[in-house]
């Protein structure tokens, strides 16, 4: 019996199957073109699913995900995957963003040339015994202004090639810096309108998101130069197709070319009847190299994630532990354990979790998020929330879904970075506020590289948080430690270590008794009746 089952819902290049075949722990099944109605009841039996654009991984499909942990997209666009729903369910969503970049770049260049010289119509004309050369008066690219909307992987590579044609290259991309664009020989405009007004040829290279849907409307086309050329090799849905059709028919635009459509295939589209528009059937990624690229990347990444190895292209994991420095990994781990301990010691309805990272090292290790997350926390905050919620939430909590669970439960999460907190540096401090109490938990990593919990409320301690503990709070009176030792011995529970800390002689004390066996509720009940004992819990950290 293999450990992992993968379902593939669209054809992949041979190289992808070769990678899967080489993994003795993996069983995969190819169900190319499977309908969502057939897919929905079986999805829960797979650890991972690999799709292309043919499968719409929507909320309905994700309503019963069972053991599904990974959605792998053999391509760039993730507009067919409900990433938020997957995240809420703790499922990693990954794509293969670099595999087909050059394929899409080269098709874009092909479409620009086709539209500028009307090459497809000229071909059709000659095949039909035509020789009317005046009909095919084109425009030259040299000296023209190319306006790139979205200066990402594809946009940048289009820019490099357009520069070599002697074009002036402009771009609009609100998420990149002007200097970055300049270093590629591209002038960045501040607004889309400016770009449209200055470009002879406009080419789209943004993802389809709520923000970019219908980016190019009738009003935007009106801003474009008369006689401009328009190219879309990115996504249908970025353009209002009816407006594009009108602009081509009226002669506002010289010509256009598109590889992508609002509805694919565009069976009922009005675009098909327009002769200064050139159409391709979403083949931007379709080169041997492009298909091999995405298949290899997605299969390798899915296997890496299944085996718990580092993977690069997840779009909804806020960070990757393996990519943190070893020092930061230790802080990350102790933050998770700090959250876990706090989660089990907390009483009352949780209202707020406040994480403070104290120390310069946290500024130096600031993690930039690779994707647009609604929760732009640092890894330590994700770790603390995840650890904390494990004991409140019955569903499996992961670093991906933990912030959603917190939000759903009305828990306000904040994080702060400071140089020093109460004279402490290089500490992670978690404050838990409930309707009954507010408690501060503190952790650090000692020079021996081992993480410690060093504060629980007013108590100072030195606890290596790993394993099972009997925790109790009591009034510091003689005999209690002896009583607890005798009781555990009576129940055959071995004590490995004992951490006791008190506020003052005869004041309150807390203890963490490191035990080798779980402690039953009956033992806890017996202990809680003993004079001087205020609270007893069994903890797993
Ligand atoms: P990318 O993420 O590298 O680049 C996208 C760029 O768009 C980013 O720089 C981003 O900052 C920018 N952007 C986001 N919102 C924007 C907005 N409102 N206005 C302007 N810019 C904005 O993606 P990529 O790999 O370059 O892919 C670009 C597009 O091409 C995607 O839609 C992808 O799905 C599509 N694609 C299509 C094919 C095809 O077969 N036709 C093949 C590959 C990729
Ligand atoms: C992509 O987003 O990678 C391309 O559109 C190709 C595809 O959908 O397969």
**Nearest ligand to the C-alpha of residue 258?**
1
What are φ and ψ of residue 201, in 5° steps?
-130, 130
How far is it, in rounded angstroms, from Cα 50 to Cα 34?
12
pLDDT at 310: 77
Reported as a single tens digit per residue, the pLDDT across 8-67 is: 999 999 999 999 999 999 999 999 999 999 999 999 999 999 999 889 999 999 999 999
Predicted confidence band at 408 (pLDDT cuts at 50, 70, 90)? confident
Query: Within a 10 A sphere around the Cβ of 336, how many other Cβ atoms?
Result: 26
In words, the CATH class of domain 326-540 is: alpha beta
Say which residue the tokens 């010691």 belong to: 345
Of the CA atoms within 13 Å of residue 270, those in its CB half-sphere come to 10
What are φ and ψ of residue 540, in 5° steps?
-120, 115
**Nearest ligand to the C-alpha of residue 76?**
2
How far is it, in rounded angstroms, from Cα 224 to Cα 256?
13
Task: Answer left, alpha or beta for residue 359, where phi above 0 means left and psi between -120 and 50 means alpha.
Answer: left
Q: At what angle do helices 101-117 and 288-306 cross, to 10 degrees?
A: 150
How far is it, in rounded angstroms, from Cα 244 to Cα 256?
9
CB of 72 closer than 6 angstroms to any ligand 1 atom: no
In words, the CATH class of domain 4-98+289-306 is: alpha beta
Q: In what order do the strands lie in the sheet with 495-502?
A: 495-502, 508-515, 468-475, 533-540
Reported as a single tens digit per residue, the pLDDT across 136-182 is: 999 999 999 999 999 999 999 999 999 999 999 999 998 888 998 99
Q: Ligand 1 center to residue 420 CA distance, Å?
A: 41
Domain residue ranges in the chain: 4-98+289-306, 101-279, 326-540
Mutation pick for ligand 2 pocket among 56, 78, 96, 100 (CB with most ligand atoms within 8 Å): 100
What residues contact 136, with CB distance under 8 A and at least 6 apart? 117, 118, 121, 122, 125
Cβ atoms of residues 352 and 439 within 8 Å: no
In ligand 2, the atom with minimum distance to the C-alpha of 10 is 9
pLDDT at 374: 73
What is the average per-residue pLDDT within 209-237?
96
Report percent pLDDT > 90 for the chain: 85
Q: Ligand 1 center to residue 139 CA distance, Å?
A: 27
pLDDT at 368: 67
SS3 233: coil
Say which residue the tokens 């497809």 belong to: 120
How far is it, in rounded angstroms, from Cα 73 to Cα 95?
4
Reported as a single tens digit per residue, the pLDDT across 267-280 is: 999 999 999 999 99
Q: Which CATH architecture has domain 101-279?
A: 3-Layer(aba) Sandwich (3.40)
What residues contact 62, with CB distance under 8 A and at least 6 apart? 43, 82, 85, 86, 89, 91
How far is it, in rounded angstroms, from Cα 24 to Cα 7?
16
Reported as a single tens digit per residue, the pLDDT across 510-540 is: 999 999 999 999 999 999 999 999 999 999 9
How far is it, in rounded angstroms, from Cα 476 to Cα 459?
13
Tokens of 246: 């009108």
- CB burial class (10 A; 0-12, 13-18, 19+) of residue 363? exposed
CB of 153 closer than 6 angstroms to any ligand 1 atom: yes
What residues contact 457, with CB distance under 8 A and at least 6 apart? 439, 440, 441
CA distances (Å), origin 122, targets 132, 231, 245, 277 = 9, 19, 21, 13
How far is it, in rounded angstroms, from Cα 229 to Cα 203?
9
pLDDT at 363: 80
Give the chain's mean pLDDT. Answer: 94
Mutation pick for ligand 1 pocket among 53, 76, 202 (CB with most ligand atoms within 8 Å): 76
Q: How many residues does the chain have?
A: 541
Predicted confidence band at 398 (pLDDT cuts at 50, 70, 90)? confident
SS3 438: strand
- Catalytic positions are 235, 264, 282
Query: Beta partners for 220?
Result: none
CB of 257 closer than 6 angstroms to any ligand 1 atom: no
Residue 422 or residue 85, greater confidence:
85
Predicted confidence band at 341 (pLDDT cuts at 50, 70, 90)? very high
Reported as a single tens digit per residue, the pLDDT across 429-447 is: 999 999 999 999 999 999 9
What is the average per-residue pLDDT within 317-344?
91
Picking from 531, 526, 499, the residue whose alpha carbon sits closest to that of residue 512 is 499
What is the average per-residue pLDDT within 311-321?
82
pLDDT at 98: 93
Q: Ligand 1 center to residue 283 CA distance, Å?
A: 16
What is the average per-residue pLDDT within 258-264?
96
Report percent pLDDT > 70 for the chain: 98
The pTM score is 0.81
Reported as a single tens digit per residue, the pLDDT across 127-148 is: 999 999 999 999 999 999 999 9
Name the residue with the closest Cα to ligand 1, atom 44. Answer: 76
In ligand 2, the atom with minimum distance to the C-alpha of 75 is 3
**Nearest ligand to the C-alpha of residue 188?**
1
Q: What is the CA radius of gyration of the chain?
A: 30
Cβ atoms of residues 97 and 78 within 8 Å: no
Name the residue with the closest Cα to ligand 2, atom 8. Answer: 53
How far is it, in rounded angstroms, from Cα 83 to Cα 7?
18
Task: Answer left, alpha or beta for residue 235, where phi above 0 means left and psi between -120 and 50 means alpha.
Answer: beta
pLDDT at 424: 86
pLDDT at 395: 64
Q: Ligand 1 center to residue 288 CA distance, Å?
A: 21
Answer whether residue 346 shows pLDDT above 70: yes
How far is it, in rounded angstroms, from Cα 19 to Cα 104?
24
Predicted confidence band at 324 (pLDDT cuts at 50, 70, 90)? confident
What is the average per-residue pLDDT within 58-85?
95
Answer whether residue 196 shows pLDDT above 70: yes
> Which residues surround ligand 2 with Cβ inside 6 Å?
52-53, 75-77, 100, 284-285
> Is there a common fold for 4-98+289-306 and 101-279?
yes
CB of 285 closer than 6 angstroms to any ligand 1 atom: yes
Predicted confidence band at 370 (pLDDT cuts at 50, 70, 90)? low
How far is it, in rounded angstroms, from Cα 246 to Cα 251?
9
How far is it, in rounded angstroms, from Cα 380 to Cα 369?
13
Name the residue with the closest Cα to ligand 1, atom 35. Answer: 234
């Amino acid at each position: 019996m293999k450990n992992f089952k993968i379902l593939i819902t669209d054809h992949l290049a041979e190289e992808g199957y070769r990678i899967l075949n080489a993994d003795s722990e993996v069983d995969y099944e190819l169900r190319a073109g499977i309908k969502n109605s057939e897919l929905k009841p079986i999805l829960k039996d797979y650890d991972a699913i690999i799709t292309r654009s043919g499968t719409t991984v929507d909320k309905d499909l994700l309503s019963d995900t069972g053991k599904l942990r990974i959605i792998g997209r053999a391509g760039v666009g993730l507009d067919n995957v409900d990433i938020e729903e997957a995240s809420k369910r703790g499922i990693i969503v990954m794509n293969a963003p670099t595999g087909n970049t050059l394929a899409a770049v080269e098709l874009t260049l092909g479409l620009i040339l086709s539209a500028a010289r009307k090459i497809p119509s000229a071909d059709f004309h000659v095949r039909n015994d035509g020789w009317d050369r005046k009909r095919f008066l084109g425009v030259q690219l040299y000296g023209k202004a190319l306006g790139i909307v979205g200066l990402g992987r594809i946009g940048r590579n289009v820019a490099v090639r357009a520069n070599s044609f002697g074009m002036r290259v402009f771009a609009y991309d609100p998420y990149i810096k002007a200097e970055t664009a300049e270093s590629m020989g591209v002038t960045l405009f501040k607004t889309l309108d400016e770009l449209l007004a200055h470009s002879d040829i406009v080419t789209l290279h943004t993802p389809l998101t709520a923000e970019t849907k219908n980016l190019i409307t009738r009003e935007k086309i009106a801003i474009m130069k008369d006689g401009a050329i328009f190219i879309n090799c990115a996504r249908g849905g970025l353009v209002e197709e009816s407006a594009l059709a009108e602009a081509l028919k009226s002669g506002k635009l010289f010509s256009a070319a598109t590889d992508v459509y609002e509805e694919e295939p565009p069976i009922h589209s009005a675009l098909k009847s327009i002769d200064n528009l050139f159409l391709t059937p979403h083949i931007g990624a379709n080169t041997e190299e492009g298909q091999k690229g995405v298949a290899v990347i997605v299969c390798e990444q899915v296997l890496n994630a299944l085996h718990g190895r580092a993977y690069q292209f997840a779009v909804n994991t806020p960070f990757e532990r393996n990519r943190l420095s070893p020092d930061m990994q230790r802080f990350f781990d102790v933050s998770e354990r700090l959250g876990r301990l706090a989660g089990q010691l907390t009483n009352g309805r949780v209202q707020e979790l406040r994480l403070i990272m104290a120390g310069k090292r946290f500024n130096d290790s600031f993690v930039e998020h690779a994707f647009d997350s609604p929760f732009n926390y640092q890894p330590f905050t994700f770790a603390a929330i995840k650890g904390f919620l494990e004991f409140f939430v019955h569903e499996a909590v992961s670093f991906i879904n933990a912030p959603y669970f917190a939000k759903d439960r009305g828990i306000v999460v904040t994080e702060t970075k400071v140089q020093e907190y109460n004279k402490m540096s290089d500490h992670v401090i978690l404050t838990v506020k409930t309707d009954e109490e507010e408690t501060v938990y503190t952790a650090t990593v000692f020079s021996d590289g081992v993480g410690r919990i060093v504060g629980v409320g007013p108590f100072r301690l030195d606890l290596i948080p790993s394993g099972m503990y009997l925790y109790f709070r009591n009034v510091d009176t003689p005999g209690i430690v002896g009583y607890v030792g005798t009781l555990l011995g009576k129940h055959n529970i071995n004590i490995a270590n004992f951490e006791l800390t008190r506020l003052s002689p005869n004041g309150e004390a807390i203890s963490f008794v490191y035990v080798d066996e779980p402690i039953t509720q009956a033992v806890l009940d017996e202990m809680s009746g003993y004079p001087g004992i205020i609270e007893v819990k069994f903890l797993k950290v």
